[in-house]
Amino acid sequence: ISCDWSSDVCSSDLFKDVAETIMDKLRGGSARRDIVTIVGMAGQGKTTLAKTIYNDPLIQYDFHISAWCCISQVYKKRKLLLDILSHIVTRDTIITMSDEDLGERLWKCLKGHKYLIVIDDIWDSKAWYDIERFFPDDNNGSRIMFTSRIHDVALQVKPNSNPLHLRP
């Protein structure tokens, strides 16, 4: 693990073990596309921890494509697709596309690549179900990482899982 522990959130041993666990889940495990979820109260450091991990050189090296987007309480499918795609292609080339064309373009861009997509602050599993089909599973270790305040959202997105809860 090579996290930059200089940030306030990651500098404590309290979050260091959680970060190491998350990095292990992102870099190891099944070759199938998998979902890793960080759950905790507002202001607890979920986003900061996820950003530190996302920007870690080992994580960036491991994935061919990486993208970050934030959903929040009210989401729009189009904005979500544009946010993700703008990390991969020039925004000018996609801004006029329909939602369905955006999704198809995302799928084509990700197909065959090992990718990490971070979806920050998801409040409703419907947001995931609206875009899930645009993330191919090529058995190459691709990962989706969510942050959420709501434990049930994590379980709806990935039943029978153990979301990682940040300790207060």
Which amino acid is located at 148 in the chain?
A: S
127 touches 80 (CB < 8 A): yes
Q: 3-state class of 93 per DSSP? A: helix
Count other C-beta atoms under 10 Å from residue 137's C-beta. 10
Say which DSSP state 115 is in: E
Nearest to 44 by CA among 73, 21, 10, 75: 10
pLDDT of the residue at 47: 92
Three-state secondary structure string covering 132-144: HHHCCCCCCCCEE
Mean pLDDT per 10-residue segment, the chain (168 residues) = 43 70 91 93 90 94 95 86 92 91 96 96 91 96 94 84 78
pLDDT of res. 6: 44
Neighbours of 21 (CB within 10 A): 13
Please report the pLDDT score of residue 13 as a whole number.
54
Which pLDDT score is estimated for 5? 41
pTM for this entry: 0.87
* CA gap 63, 41 in Å, rounded: 29
Q: At what angle do helices 99-110 and 77-85 cross, to 10 degrees?
A: 30
Alpha helices by DSSP H, the chain: 8-11, 13-27, 46-54, 57-62, 77-85, 99-110, 125-131, 151-157
Residue 135 and residue 144 in contact, taking contact as beta carbons nearer than 8 Å:
yes
Site of tokens 């090992």: 114
Residues 6+ apart with CB under 8 A from 112: 136, 138, 140
